[in-house]
Amino acid sequence: MIHLFEAFKIALGMIVTGDQVVFSIAFRTLLIASASTIAATLLFVPLGCMVHFSNFKGKRIAVGFIQTMYSVPTVFVGMLVFLMVSRSGPFGVMGLLFSPWAIILGEIVLIAPIITGLTISALRNTGKGLEDTATSLGAGRGTMILKVLAEAKYAMLTSVLMGFGRAVSEVGVAIMVGGNISGYTRTLSTAIALGVGKGETAFSIALGLILLSLAMVVSIAVNIMQHGYRGRK
Amino acid sequence: MILQLKDIQLTREKNRILNGVSLDIAEGCFFVLMGPTGCGKTTLLRLAGLLERPDSGDILFNGSVVPRRGSELLKTRRRVATMFQSPVMFRGTVFSNIAWGLKIRRIPQSEMVNRVEQILELAGLSGFGERDASTLSGGEMRRTALARALVLEPDLLILDEPTTSLDPAFKRDLLTRIKEIHAETGTTFLMATHDFTDALAVGTRGAVMRGGLIEQTGSMDEILFKPENHFMASFTGMRNIFPAEFSGSEARVGELDVAHSGKGDKTGHGFLAIPPEAVVLSLSTRVTSERNRFTGTVSSIERHGTNWDVVVAVADLSLTVAITTGALDELSISSGSRIHISFKASAVRLF
């Protein structure tokens, strides 16, 4: 108990004094998670919009599939991306394995269903009534879509934040395709996993507190967004 | 005619929703579409509002067939506005909600402000402009939705069950407001309701639907007083509807011969209705010009609003008679009392 208390004190000291190793890992984690979230947002928010606003055969099945993929195990995604970017894989020649790019790629794959699915849900939750109202007031299809997007913006932002939350805290992909290389591909979650194994308790707690803070910031932001969304009704 | 629907058919998920509906709506009228829940009213309104296309049949607006897509469709659709059963408010103030339709039409700011201010007053929403639309009550939300549609100065305004789930006071207030607006603006109104009293309060013409078909169309008086069939008679609240065998100016109803003043050519099987208000009760045989006079036994007496319903067993029929509290006191009858009933032949409705 005393050991844990001491470790906690040292961890807080590391954070307060701005320990270079701790903060470089935190910064790298933020950078990788942000890059993957931005890329996934640019790719999959429009995909979610397209799925919502278009009618095609099998739409319900496609949406159901996307939603089941929310809980895809990170190690499975890690394995998939590993096979893709390993020397013998289709993207092997690009030499991405054990680089931050591989982690970014893995995290994009991981959060793609979350961002796509939650974007579809956000738009669907605005209801058919909103589309009908805009159309009946004289909006063409383009104006109607813009209006629905404007009304659903907070809920859609929530989907992006949820994606970021998953990316920043995931460990399976980062270890498998990043390799946990110190100063290069080591992220908060992989460093904690390694630190605990090596008995570096204070170091792991410091990283854990930062990761927890990040997760809490995301969670608070999601709550604020959802409150704003509900406030419309 | 501002709107004509010709032989409209629509099937959704293997269910036939509309089965060859034809309807003409004249400019400036207040047309009410009535019928029980699920009869296809809302679907028909969506087609009239050009929000959906029928599987077959034509929709004509001001005599021209509405195109199925393209800029001409949008142009025509902008001359129609719909207020939905459950209005959706956009994020923002009441003012921004009402102004939205004008904004997308690129109406200049000063004109937009003027029109919104005017419509706020017309809809009884003065002082509500800066209110957050999400904080409005049900009645205020309906009025905002009405104002949002009206501000566009449409040629045709469609209202889908505008009074559903409103308190009676709000309901009366909204209907009065709608009637006033119709009189002031001269806009053609098309309203759907399952409540016949709402329809009577505002409508000038109407149609009654059942199972995706129009049962009867005409003026409100024609619908109320000249039902064309049994369904229409029940829908308009008629009671004492009996199957009858017609022959000349008489009809055989069960064991009774009922005199009527209907056309002499009415023969064979049909229905007749005896309005409960048209039947007179008396304790003894009266000298009267009424051609229908019978004797029966009181089966039950029940309060019906401010009046009383006295059910009288006459031969093999149960006839409901509506009387006032004063009349009931004077007659001092109870279940089992022998009573004389009479009604004029002209009061009997045939269909």
Chain A residues with CB under 8 Å of B77 CB are: 135-136, 138
Chain A residues with CB under 8 Å of B98 CB are: none
Is the Cβ pair A129, B82 closer than 8 Å?
no
More confident residue, B79 or B236: B79
Q: Given this model, what pLDDT does residue A14 score? A: 86
Q: Please give the DSSP secondary-structure letter assigned to residue B345.
A: G
Structural domain span for residue A34? 15-230
Rounded-to-integer distance, Cα B82 and Cα B102, Å: 15
- Please give the average per-residue pLDDT across B176-201, as a whole number: 88
> Which A residues, 99 through 138, put their C-beta within 8 Å of a C-beta on chain B?
127, 129-130, 132-133, 135-138
Is the Cβ pair A138, B148 closer than 8 Å?
no
Q: pLDDT tens-digit profile of B150-186?
A: 899 899 999 998 888 777 877 888 888 888 888 888 8
Q: pLDDT tens-digit profile of B270-319?
A: 888 898 989 999 988 777 788 899 999 999 999 987 889 999 999 889 99
Whether residue A79 is contained in a domain is answered as yes
Residue B35 C-alpha, separation from nearest chain A C-alpha, in angstroms = 23
B41 plus B117 within the same structural domain: yes
Whether residue A5 is contained in a domain is answered as no
Chain B residues with CB under 8 Å of A129 CB are: 84, 86-88
Rounded-to-integer distance, Cα B100 and Cα B258, Å: 62
| Through-space distance between the first and last CA atoms of chain B, rounded to whole angstroms | 29
Mutate to test the interface with A, among B68, B91, B134 (most CBs of A within 10 A): B91
B87 plus B223 within the same structural domain: yes
Q: Are B105 and B144 in contact (CB under 8 A)?
A: no
B142 plus B258 within the same structural domain: no
Is the Cβ pair B90, A132 closer than 8 Å?
no
Residue B119 C-alpha, separation from nearest chain A C-alpha, in angstroms = 15
Binning chain A into helix, strand and coil, the percentages to the nearest 5 are 80, 0, 20
pLDDT value at A232 more than 50: no
Q: Give the pair of three-digit tokens for residue B86.
A: 């459950």
In terms of CA atoms, which chain B residue is nearest residue A228? B91
Q: Give the pair of three-digit tokens for residue A213.
A: 């803070």
In terms of CA atoms, which chain B residue is nearest residue A147? B90
CATH number at residue B25: 3.40.50.300
B283 plus B254 within the same structural domain: no
pLDDT value at A2 more than 60: no
Q: Are A166 and A114 in contact (CB under 8 A)?
A: yes
Q: Given this model, what pLDDT does residue A228 score? A: 61
Task: Name which of A127, A137, A140 is nearest B101 (Cβ-Cβ).
Answer: A137
Residues 6+ apart with CB under 8 A from A181: A98
B148 plus B265 within the same structural domain: no
Split into its structural domains, chain B has a count of 3
Whether residue A133 is contained in a domain is answered as yes
| Inter-CA distances, A129 with A136, A231, B86, B96, B214, Å | 10, 17, 8, 18, 26
Average pLDDT, chain A: 90
B264 plus B307 within the same structural domain: no
Whether residue A28 is contained in a domain is answered as yes
Task: Name which of B78, B134, B148 is nearest A233 (Cβ-Cβ).
Answer: B134
Q: Are B276 and B318 in contact (CB under 8 A)?
A: no
- Please give the average per-residue pLDDT across B38-48, as a whole number: 91
Split into its structural domains, chain A has a count of 1
B315 plus B344 within the same structural domain: yes
Q: Give the pair of three-digit tokens for residue B59.
A: 């929709």
Q: pLDDT tens-digit profile of A163-173?
A: 999 999 999 89
B196 plus B323 within the same structural domain: no
A66, A32, A49, A225: which is closest to A142 by C-alpha? A49
3-state secondary structure of B233: helix
B135 plus B207 within the same structural domain: yes
Whether residue A94 is contained in a domain is answered as yes
> Which A residues, 140 through 199, put their C-beta within 8 Å of a C-beta on chain B?
140, 143, 147, 150-151
CATH number at residue A125: 1.10.3720.10
B163, B165, B158, B161: which is closest to B182 by C-alpha? B158
pLDDT value at A229 more than 60: no
Binning chain B into helix, strand and coil, the percentages to the nearest 5 are 30, 35, 35
Q: Give the pair of three-digit tokens for residue A102.
A: 């591989």
B266 plus B188 within the same structural domain: no
Q: pLDDT tens-digit profile of A96-140?
A: 999 999 999 999 999 999 999 999 999 999 988 999 999 999 999
Q: Are A120 and A53 in contact (CB under 8 A)?
A: no
Q: Would you tell me how many other CB atoms lie within 10 Å of the CB of residue B1? A: 14
In terms of CA atoms, which chain A residue is nearest residue B99? A137
Chain A residues with CB under 8 Å of B101 CB are: 137-138
In terms of CA atoms, which chain B residue is nearest residue A229? B91
Rounded-to-integer distance, Cα A1 and Cα A116, Å: 45
Q: Please give the DSSP secondary-structure letter assigned to residue A199.
A: T
**Single-letter residue type at B207:** A
- Long-range contacts, stretch B213-218, CB < 8 angstroms, 24+ apart: B213/B19, B213/B20, B213/B21, B214/B21, B214/B22, B214/B23, B215/B35, B217/B23
Is the Cβ pair A132, B84 closer than 8 Å?
yes
Chain B residues with CB under 8 Å of A143 CB are: 104
pLDDT value at B66 more than 80: yes
Rounded-to-integer distance, Cα B47 and Cα B5, Å: 9
User: Which phi-psi region, left, alpha or beta, contains residue B65 (left: φ > 0; alpha: ψ -120 to 50)?
Assistant: beta
Q: For B37-94, give the secondary structure using H, E and C.
A: CCCCHHHHHHHHCCCCCCCEEEEEECCEECCCCCHHHHHHHCCEEEECCCCCCCCCEH
Mutate to test the interface with A, among B45, B90, B142 (most CBs of A within 10 A): B90
B260 plus B190 within the same structural domain: no
Rounded-to-integer distance, Cα B290 and Cα A84, Å: 97
DSSP letter for each residue of A25-86: HHHHHHHHHHHHHHHHHHHHHHHHHHHHH---TTHHHHHHHHHHGGG--HHHHHHHHHHHHS
ipTM value: 0.78
Q: What pTM does this model have? A: 0.79
B294 plus B322 within the same structural domain: yes
Is the Cβ pair A151, B51 closer than 8 Å?
no
Grade residue B264 by pLDDT with cuts at 50, 70 and 90: low
Whether residue A8 is contained in a domain is answered as no
Structural domain span for residue B287? 276-350
| Through-space distance between the first and last CA atoms of chain A, rounded to whole angstroms | 50
Is the Cβ pair B90, A151 closer than 8 Å?
yes
